[in-house]
Amino acid sequence: MNLYIFKSEEELDHAAAESVIKVIRTNPNAKLGLATGQTPIGLYKKLVQAFENGRVSFKQVTTYNIDEYVGLGKDHPQSFFIYMNDYLFSKVDLSKEQIHIPNGMAEDLEKEAARYETLLNQAGQLDVQILSIGLNGHIGFNEPGTQLHAETHVVELTEETRKANSKFFPSLDDVPKKAITMGLGPMMKAKKIVFIAKGETKAAILKQAFKGPIDLMVPGSLLQLHSNIEVYLDTKAASLLI
Ligand code: GLP
């Protein structure tokens, strides 16, 4: 694991974005695994800036989001599709055909998970996977539990995750109870993982994930097994790791 620690969010976002830009400039057909949440917003802003400055093009890139809420359509303000559209998709030269995200409105969710898994298998190895971590150690929506999945699946969100994500919703009751998430397989097979985390609330779980044993109750701890993971943290998030 390559650990990079930054004093400011600005420097962190810049460095993490440069790592992604490098992948796309080296391989214009790059396949990107994308995450949502508060944490990567700055990284996406830096990618948009680089696009606007002519430093990077997404014309031949394909993207695969790692998760979506069940029950939120592509027009719902809290859907991950709208998040991605607002922060990246609508601001760069990506067309609809290049974007992939699970459909949380599918009538048959199991079938949708299988469709997404087939898509990922057809895509093959992701060139870079952007990731962060939930307060309980989840990656994507791979929640802690007695078993973890390699493949795309429908997941019941924990109360802790729903509470943490209620910051994006009018109230806790509005937070969906289920999601469709990519399993850990494609993330662990990605050529490179760009992992980011910010703030002191993440310090304890980061210590467990990166310094503790590999533990099903801390899905992020599996990332210790990845051979090419770059970990970008601010000093607060890194406080228990150093
Ligand atoms: C979300 C996403 C994850 C994300 C995590 C942390 O629910 N499914 O991909 O890493 O929770 O979010 P945040 O960056 O807002 O702390």
pLDDT interval class at 219 (50, 70, 90): very high
Tokens standing for residue 84: 């991605």
Please check the confidence at residue 229 and state whether its pLDDT lies above 90.
Answer: yes
For 81, 105, 185, 208, the CA distances from 123, given in Å and listed in that order, are 20, 23, 13, 32
Ligand 1 center–CA 147 separation, angstroms:
20
Nearest alpha carbon to residue 179 among 158, 200, 160, 197: 158
Give the pLDDT mean for 191-211.
Answer: 98
Cα(123) to centroid of ligand 1, in Å? Answer: 24
Query: Given pLDDT bands bounded at 50, 70 and 90, which one contains residue 242?
Result: confident
Residue 10: the pLDDT is 97
Pocket test for ligand 1, best of 142, 165, 182 (most atoms within 8 A of CB): 165
Average pLDDT, the chain: 97
The predicted pLDDT at position 25 comes to 98
Q: Locate the ligand 1 atom nearest the alpha carbon of residue 165 and give its number.
A: 7
pLDDT recorded at residue 139: 98
By most ligand atoms within 8 Å of CB, the mutation choice from 36, 83, 168 for ligand 1 is: 36
The residues carrying an active-site annotation are 67, 136, 138, 143
Instruction: Say which residues have a Cβ less than 8 Å from residue 140's Cβ, sequence separation at least 6.
Output: 35, 66, 67, 131, 181, 182, 187
Ligand 1 atom 5: residue of nearest CA: 134
Rounded mean pLDDT of 1-24? 98
Distance 161 CA to ligand 1 centre (A): 9
User: What is the reported pLDDT for 142?
Assistant: 97
- 182 Cα–ligand 1 center, Å: 14
Distance separating alpha carbons of residues 71 and 157, to the nearest angstrom: 13
pLDDT per residue as tens digits for the range 47-94: 999 999 999 999 999 999 999 999 999 999 999 999 999 999 999 999
Contact 10, 49 (CB under 8 A): no
CA count, 13 A, side-chain hemisphere, 48: 14
**Top mutation candidate among 34, 83, 133, 187 for ligand 1, by most atoms within 8 Å of CB:** 133
The neighbour count for residue 6, using CB atoms within 10 Å, is 20
Residue 212 exposed, middle or buried by CB count within 10 Å (0-12, 13-18, 19+):
middle
Mean pLDDT throughout 134-143?
97
Determine the distance separating the centroid of ligand 1 and the alpha carbon of 59, expressed in angstroms: 27
The predicted pLDDT at position 90 comes to 98
Predicted TM-score (pTM) of this structure: 0.98
> Which protein residues touch ligand 1 with a CB less than 6 Å away?
35-39, 67, 132-134, 140-141, 165
Structure-token pair, residue 22: 């490098």
Task: Tell me the mean pLDDT in the region 163-176.
Answer: 96
Residue 181 CA, closest ligand 1 atom number: 8
User: pLDDT tens across 20-33, in order?
Assistant: 999 999 999 999 99
pLDDT band at 146 (very low <50, low <70, confident <90, very high): confident
Amino acid 32 reads: L
